[in-house]
Structure 1
Amino acid sequence: MAHALHRLWLPILAMTLAVVASNILVQYPINDWLTWGAFTYPAAFLVTDLTNRRYGTASARRVVYAGFAIAVVMSLWFADPRIALASGAAFLVAQLMDVTVFDRLRRRPWWQAPLISSSLASAFDTVLFFTIAFAGTGLPWISWAAGDWGVKMAMALAMLVPYRALMQILLPLPTDPVHEHG
């Protein structure tokens, strides 16, 4: 377990940074349709999908759990508590969904697993986050959610470029004993 966490420090750090930055930036609207957080959160799906492809589902889940714990605690310092709670709930559900869907699609063409898993998980993340974070506040949260989801869909497509490039670097050799499927 210690070895597993040692080799996952970079994905855990990247996940934490993506979530904390998003929780801060979601508090700053661009207009009635978008907040700045819409542009940073999709990086969390990139981290999950690359970890899943490189190390397998068990390691991807470890990154999700560690990123969740660290990001929620940090978000309580840097964001409104309601946003930190909403983020934690939506993050956990969406990222674990992403890991599961990705794993079921991993043998399909390289682009299908990250695109489909991120798209489905983004829909759940958006609904959960914006409902918990902003319902009843008088803010235009429904239009923010719609704009956020639109950006997440565009980013899911755009993230295929760095995913493919990083996949070439991170994929294990066929004899790599660290690749796990659990």
Structure 2
Amino acid sequence: MAASKPSKRLGSESIEPMVTERFYDRELNSRERAVRGLRATLQGFLKALALAGIMLPLQLFGILTLDLPLSLFDAFAPTQGLRPSAWMSLGEGLLMLLVLLTILMTRRWGAGAVAGSALLGWALTFSIITMLIVELAPELQDGDFPSGRFISVLIISWVAGQLFAGRVFDITRGGNWWKAPFFGAAFGYGFQALIYFPGAFAGTGAPWLWWMLIYLVITTAISLAFVLIYGPLRRLIVPKAGLGGRFD
């Protein structure tokens, strides 16, 4: 809508009329609001699904390879009886990488978006594994399954550790660049260990306190090594607007 003001005469000079324009957004009706809301919801779900797809391979194969021993870290054990290959699997090694991947994704997309996608990825993992168990059930023996206590505590601990790592990273970013990736990884692994070892092994007679101590030494070393990788990756993984600078 346009409105004009009459010209005024000051002495021999005249002032041209001012023309102003005002624009009004048309109010959306209920159908248009519903369509817009549905479109935003669908876009958000597709984004979460895409991010979940990045994490899904590590989540899925981490669970599927829990029966394969991992001897990579045996040098960290003071005695042969405490070697990680006796209580750590290839699957757990893959889930360790999942924590580091979560931190890199949090750098790019933020803790909120990555946390939702992580939960979606775990839901997809659980669904796929359930379908595999149903399909293979006639050929499986009782010994082919880990105990319900073990698998429940393991999954809960890694979900919690993954989310905690992303959250700690998000809180500590913005200072010295190395602090966020180190503390995110170290605290994520530590939180996972505090849930997993007592939850899975307390009361079984296993030396789980020693195992947890060795595990924390291993994961602290991994966290330090991750800082060396994270530094160069800052140039490649640029945070979205509002999540920090390229070199944070």
TM-score by length of 2: 0.59
- Which protein has the bigger strand share? 2
**80-89 or 157-166, which deviates more:** 157-166
Report if the CA contact (8 A) 1:51-1:59 is conserved. no
1:116 Cα shift? Answer: 0.8
Structure 1 residues 25-69: Cα deviation after superposition (integer angstroms, max 9, x where no partner): 579895414244464432122111011001111222023212333
Cα 1:129–1:22 shift into 2, 3 Å? farther
Equivalent residue in structure 1 for 2:204, among 109, 131, 137: 137
Higher Rg of the two aligned structures: 2
Distance 1:156 1:164 in 2: 13
Contiguous gaps of at least 5 residues in structure 1: none
Distance 1:147 1:59 in 2: 33
1:72 Cα shift? Answer: 4.8
Residue matched to 2:31: none
Distance 1:26 1:83 in 2: 16
Within a 5 Å distance, the mapping from 1:50-69 to structure 2 comes to 50-69=104-123
**156-165 or 52-61, which deviates more:** 156-165
Report if the CA contact (8 A) 2:49-2:120 is conserved. no
Higher relative contact order (CA 8 A, sep 6+): 1
Contiguous gaps of at least 5 residues in structure 2: 1-43, 75-80, 134-143
Distance 1:63 1:88 in 2: 16
Cα 1:150–1:47 shift into 2, 3 Å? same
Within a 5 Å distance, the mapping from 1:1-182 to structure 2 comes to 1-17=44-60, 19-20=62-63, 23-25=66-68, 31-34=81-84, 35-37=87-89, 39-72=93-126, 74=129, 80=146, 81-172=148-239
Cα 1:114–1:26 shift into 2, 3 Å? farther
- After superposition, the CA RMSD in angstroms is 3.2
Distance 2:219 2:48 in 1: 29
**65-74 or 120-129, which deviates more:** 65-74
1:12 Cα shift? Answer: 1.9
- What amino acid does structure 1 have at the position aligned with 2:192? D
**17-26 or 117-126, which deviates more:** 17-26
Cα 1:7–1:56 shift into 2, 3 Å? same
1:154 Cα shift? Answer: 0.6
1:160 Cα shift? Answer: 2.0
Aligned length: 177
Q: Secondary structure at the match of 1:8?
A: helix
Structure 1 residues 155-177: Cα deviation after superposition (integer angstroms, max 9, x where no partner): 111122333344432225xxx56
**43-52 or 130-139, which deviates more:** 130-139
Cα 1:16–1:112 shift into 2, 3 Å? same
Cα 1:26–1:180 shift into 2, 3 Å? farther
Report if the CA contact (8 A) 1:15-1:63 is conserved. no
